[in-house]
Structure formats: C-alpha cells, structure tokens
C-alpha cells in the first residue's frame, strides 16, 4: 500500500492551498492531492464562449468576483501574478420587486432609491437592513450561540424572519432575491442564525450584496478564476491525482489513516485533510463513524441550486442605453405557474472587451432543457433591456452545478433551521482527519477567499499534529482545535434560561379576580363600590375582628 505523510482530498482552491502551504514550509513532506473529477478547480470553472467577431473569450461559470476585503484571495492572486479589474456598474439598474412592474434606479441598491420606489418601500428596506445589521453585529463567528437571540434565530428561517418584519412585498422580495443570489437557496429553508453568521464572516449583509466599495462583487479576475487552481496544480505537478475519488476513510488516534478510492485502490497517510464541501463529506464512509454533531451537520448542510448563465452579445448595447446590466428580479407574475428565470444579472464584458451578461437562474427551472432555459433567459432579458437583447444575441452558455459530480450544487452549502449547534463542530477533527473547504472558513466563508484561508488553517493544523510546531503560523489557527484561544463553543442550553416576568402571572390572576368580582356582582346586582371593595372589606374586617363578615 502506498504511504505518504499527508493526503489532501479535493483539488479545489482549499485543497490545493493546503498542499502548497505544506510544501512551501516543509518541502521534504510527501504530499498527495486526490481529486475525484478529471480537472482541478472545484467550484471554479473557466470556459471559452463564442463572442463578437467570431472569436472566443474566457468566462467564469463558477466563482468569479473578488471583494476588496478578501485579503487571502487578493494575496494569492498577487503571488500568482493574476490581475483583477473593476466590475462595470455605471448607469441605471433594473429591479422587479413587489410587483410585475420593472423599475430602474441609479443608487447602488434599491434601498437607497427614493423616486423609483415609494417612500414607504424605501423606509421599509432601510428599516429591515438596519434590524438585520443590528443582529449581525451581535454574532460571534467562532461561537454562534454566545448572544441572547441566537437560539430563537436558529429556530427561525430567513423567510419567516422577513415575513415578521417586512411591511411591503418589495422588501420581502428583496431579501428573497438576496438569499437566492448569495447562497442559491430559498430563504424558507435557511437558519436565520446561519445567515447572520455568514454576513458577519464577510463583514456585513451589505458587503455580501454590493458590487461597489467593500462589496463581494466589486472586482473580477482577468482571464478567469480557474487559473488560480491550474497554476497551483502546475506547481504541485504529479502530486495531484485526478479521477481519484475517495469513498472510505479508516482513521485512529495516533495511528495511520487509510483511504479507499472508488476504484478500489488503498492509500495510507499520517494526516488526512478533507477539502471537499460538507454535503460531499456526508457521502463518505468513516471508520470509526463520525460523532453525533458532525453526522447531524452533514445530514443538514445542503447545497444551493442556482444555474449560472452567460449570454454574449455583438455590442454592450445596455451601456449605450445608460444601463449597467444589473438586474434583480423576484420573477413573480400574476399568471399562475409562470416563472421568469432571471434572479440577478451583471455586466460580464471581459477585460478584452467581449460584451456579455452574466446571471443566475431560478432553481425551479432545473428540469427544463437547456434550449428552454436559453429561450426563457433571452425573453426575460428583452423584458429588462428591450429587443436588442434578442437582436444582438450571439451565444448562450450555462452551468448547472446541481449535476456536477463531487459537488452537489452551488455556490455554497448552507445550514437548515435548528442545526447551528451541529455547525459549530465544522472545523473539529475526527482522529487523524482535518477539515478544510470554504464552508469551514472564519472570514469570507463560502467564498474563494474563505477557501484559501481554510486551506492555510488545515496546513497549520497538520504541522501542529506532525509535531512540526516551529512551522506553525498561529494566525491561521483561528477557530482550530489547536488554537490557544480555542474553547469549545457553547451549544444551545437545554436548561430554563429564559426569564419569565412574575408580572405576567400577577396581571393574569389580577384580571381573573376583577372579572370574577364583576361576574359575581352582576349576578347579585351589588353597587359598584360594593362589587370592588366588598372582598377587601371582608378581609380587613376578618383581620381586625377575627370574625366572619355578617351575612
Ligand atoms: C456558480 C458559482 C458562483 C460563485 N461565485 C463566487 C464569487 O463570485 N466569488 C467567490 O469568492 N466565490 C464564488 N463562488 C464560491 C467559490 O467558487 C467557492 O467558495 C470555492 O471555489 C470553494 O473552494 P473549495 O476548495 O472550498 O471547494 P471546491 O471548489 O468545491 O473543491 C472541492 C473539490 O473536492 C473534490 N471532491 C469532492 N468530493 C471528493 C471525493 N470524495 N474524492 C475526491 N475529490 C472530491 C471536488 O471535485 C472539488 O474539486 C461561486 C461558486 C459557484 C459554483
């Protein structure tokens, strides 16, 4: 059986970063990266699409944007000599929120767009963002249950929260769209606490949805994001093995860890790093089995289901028409059963100047054929941009991540309501197995930057476990069981810790007494004074005289 020091499962950004970090600091280590697919890059995939003048250009069908506060990713891009450029976002943006009507606005988000939206809608948007931001501030990413509202937030879905606070359909639609575009998920299925923690991990809710300033959609990568993984894999050479899907893991305390591949091959290592999405960890067989919390985590962490599309055009006609290319749409109509496909879109014109629109399609269109989806997308683009969206059309390309092997969906896995206690075990080791992948990150969880951070943490955990402590960079152990600051996060308490005011009971019995007196006095037709004071008089009389009230 082949034996190495470290096996990393998954050649996405997290796994490749782990292997690269290990070898950068300790080149003598024997490291192997096992990848199930026939390519590296995982949830990043850059493809050639036909563009204007009969040429092709590179477009991202997976991870694409970079935020200015995504330091880990920006540092890696710098190391690999890959440039970024700004997302185009000049001109009017289009929105279909709360009604079938399409409205345009020039502010960065509709919440700031008084004039296009009614004052009542704008106040509602701002009020809801303010309330959510206040909750986000209270969340501790490393200990989700350390604030008072956490248990209630985990019991609630994002949709039920939106229903309870939003006064207008537009505000509810806006939150639904934000959840669909950020996680590819429906708000009714997601734990509110998970959403708050995710926002905190990226900075704030606004940072997740904006394409300006510190927003996650502010910058794009020249030549596409998959080249990050391709370049790291090229550095690692034949240490990366494709078509090597893992299915069984046998591990022990202090002993070696053995993996069995789908093709039946066996390999052995001192430490194993699983840099794969949580929903894929759930498909692996572990011996000994995973602990209760990890098992429940993998049973309840599920991927989003968006389909990403690119439409290339002869010219960027929307720019000439004073539009940015940005759409957000609830896709609702008054015709029962009709679904308008586009959830959101942006200008995707490349750094070479090839005009294109990128967007995400509603998850309910999964069972349609590619042709049906293409027609529906172009029809929807005509609704927002006019007939040029059809006349200038060149090509349509899409990626349905739901059908991608070893992936399960896109863009991230999220936690369903009531399971955030299990989520707090996401970085915990299982004997000789470490866990990386963007969902395990502390900062910018779910994004490419989070994947890089998680890979660095896993590499430093491995140094620690292999007793190469002088190699450990403690900065990257944040959230790890090996961190000096680590304390096991509070699980939600199962004792009665909620304060029940005695006044509730007093008011209840007081009201019952008043009602009783009223009912009795009504029956015996006593005067008002007598109705209220007779019982008091009787008690005082008895207390003073020791005798019963004379009948
Ligand atoms: C459509 C889409 C849009 C996105 N947009 C953005 C964006 O704009 N900005 C951003 O920052 N992020 C974005 N993301 C998210 C980003 O792409 C991911 O956060 C990041 O790529 C995850 O990297 P990872 O290494 O953690 O996981 P992955 O990329 O999923 O890598 C895991 C690897 O493990 C392999 N694997 C799984 N199971 C096994 C097994 N049993 N055996 C062997 N190999 C296995 C998989 O094949 C895969 O290659 C987007 C993702 C998608 C899909």
Expressed in angstroms and rounded, the spacing between residue 403 Cα and the centre of ligand 1 is 14
Give the atom of ligand 1 at the shortest distance from the alpha carbon of 280.
38
- Is 320 annotated in a binding site? The answer is no
**Helical residues (DSSP H) of 361-501, grouped into ranges:** 370-385, 388-391, 420-423, 448-465
Q: Is 360 annotated as a binding residue?
A: yes
The pLDDT of residue 180 is above 70: yes
Q: Using the predicted structure, report yes or no on whether residue 494 has a pLDDT greater than 70.
A: no
- CA-CA distance, 115 to 466, in Å (whole number)? 62
Per-residue confidence (pLDDT) for residue 204, from 0 to 100: 94
In sequence order, what DSSP letters do the residues of 208-268 get, joined into one string? HH-SSTT-TTSEEETT-SHHHHHHHHHHHGGGEESS--EEEEE--SSS-EEEEETTS-EEE
Report whether residue 64 contacts ligand 1, using a CB cutoff of 6 Å: yes
Average pLDDT, the chain: 92
What pLDDT shows up at residue 505? 82
Residue nearest atom 41 of ligand 1, based on CA coordinates:
246
Ligand 1 touching residue 406 (CB < 6 A): yes
Please name which of 240, 176, 224, 525 lies closest in space to residue 358, comparing C-alpha atoms.
224
C-alpha of residue 50 to centroid of ligand 1, in Å: 25
Grade residue 535 by pLDDT with cuts at 50, 70 and 90.
Answer: confident
pTM: 0.90
395 DSSP 8-state letter = E
7-26 tens-digit pLDDT: 999 999 999 999 999 999 99
Label residue 113 by pLDDT band (50, 70, 90). Answer: low
pLDDT of residue 510: 86
Please state the separation of Cα 541 from the chain's center in Å. Answer: 70
Rounded Cα gap, residues 226 and 12, in angstroms: 9
DSSP state, residue 542 = H
Dihedral sign of CA atoms 366, 369, 373, 374 in order: positive
Query: Among residues of the chain, what percentage have pLDDT more than 70?
Result: 95
The rounded distance, in Å, linking the Cα atoms of 177 and 169 is 12
Closest CA to 224 of 125, 372, 85, 33: 85
21 carries a ligand binding annotation: no
Angstrom distance (rounded) from CA 90 to CA 228: 28
Helix and strand numbers (H, E) in the chain are: 18, 22
Ligand 1 atom showing the smallest separation from residue 216 Cα: 9
d(CA 521, CA 540): 19
Q: From the alpha carbon of 448, which atom of ligand 1 is closest?
A: 11
Q: Is 458 in the pocket of ligand 1 (CB under 6 A)?
A: no
Percent helix, strand and coil across the chain, each rounded to 5?
40, 20, 40
Across 261-275, average pLDDT: 98
| Cβ neighbours of residue 410 closer than 8 Å, sequence gap 6 or more | 43, 62, 184, 303, 304, 305, 306, 308, 401, 402, 404
Query: Is the bond into 288 cis (omega within 30 degrees of 0)?
Result: yes
Distance CA 458, CA 468 (A): 14
């Amino acid at each position: 059986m082949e034996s190495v020091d470290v096996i990393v499962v998954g050649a996405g950004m997290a796994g490749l970063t782990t292997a690269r970090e290990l070898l950068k600091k300790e080149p003598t280590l024997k490291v192997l990266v096992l990848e199930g697919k026939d390519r590296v890059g995982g949830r990043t995939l850059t493809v050639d699409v036909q563009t204007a003048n009969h040429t092709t250009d590179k477009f991202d069908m997976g991870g694409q944007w970079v935020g200015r506060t995504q330091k880990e990713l920006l540092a890696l891009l710098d190391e690999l000599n890959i440039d970024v450029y700004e997302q185009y976002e000049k001109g009017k943006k289009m929105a279909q929120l709360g009604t079938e009507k399409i409205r345009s606005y020039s502010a960065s988000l509709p919440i700031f767009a008084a004039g296009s939206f009614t004052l009542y809608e704008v106040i509602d948007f701002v009020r809801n963002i303010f309330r959510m931001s206040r909750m986000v501030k209270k969340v501790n990413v490393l200990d989700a249950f350390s604030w008072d509202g956490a248990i209630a937030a985990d019991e609630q879905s994002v949709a039920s929260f939106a229903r309870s606070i939003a006064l207008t359909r537009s505000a509810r639609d806006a939150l639904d769209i934000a959840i669909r575009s950020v996680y590819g998920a429906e708000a009714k299925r997601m734990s509110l606490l998970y959403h708050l923690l995710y926002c905190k991990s990226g900075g704030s809710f606004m940072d997740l949805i904006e394409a300006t300033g510190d927003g996650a959609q502010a910058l794009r990568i020249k030549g596409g994001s998959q080249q990050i993984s391709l370049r790291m894999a090229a550095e690692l050479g034949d240490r990366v093995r494709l078509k090597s899907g893992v299915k069984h893991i046998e591990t022990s305390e202090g002993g070696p860890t053995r993996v069995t591949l789908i093709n039946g091959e066996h390999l052995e290592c001192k430490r194993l790093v699983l840099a794969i999405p949580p929903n894929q960890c759930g498909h692996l067989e572990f011996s000994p089995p995973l602990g209760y919390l990890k098992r429940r985590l993998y049973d309840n962490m599920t991927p989003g289901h968006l389909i990403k599309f690119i439409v290339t055009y002869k010219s960027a006609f929307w720019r000439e028409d004073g539009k940015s290319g940005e759409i957000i749409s609830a896709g609702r109509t008054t015709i029962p059963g009709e679904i308008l496909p586009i959830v959101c879109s942006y200008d995707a014109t490349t750094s070479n100047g090839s005009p294109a629109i990128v967007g995400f399609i509603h998850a309910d269109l999964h069972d349609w054929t590619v042709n049906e989806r293409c027609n529906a997308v172009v029809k929807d683009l005509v609704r927002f941009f006019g007939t040029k969206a059809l006349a200038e059309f060149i090509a349509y390309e899409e990626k349905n991540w739901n059908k991608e092997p070893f992936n399960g969906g896109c863009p991230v896995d999220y936690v369903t309501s009531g399971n955030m206690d299990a989520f707090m075990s996401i970085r915990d080791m299982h004997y000789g197995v470490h866990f990386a992948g963007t969902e395990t990150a502390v900062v910018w969880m779910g994004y490419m930057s989070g994947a890089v951070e998680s890979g660095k943490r896993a590499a430093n955990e491995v140094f620690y476990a292999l007793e190469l402590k002088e190699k450990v960079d403690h900065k990257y152990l944040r959230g790890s069981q090996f961190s000096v600051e680590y304390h096991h996060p509070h699980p939600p308490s199962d004792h009665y810790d909620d304060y029940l005011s005695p006044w509730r009971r007093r008011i209840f019995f007081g009201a019952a007494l008043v009602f009783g007196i009223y009912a009795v006095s009504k029956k015996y037709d006593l005067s008002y004074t007598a109705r209220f004071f007779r019982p008091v008089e009787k008690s005082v009389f008895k207390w003073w005289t020791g005798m019963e009230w004379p009948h």
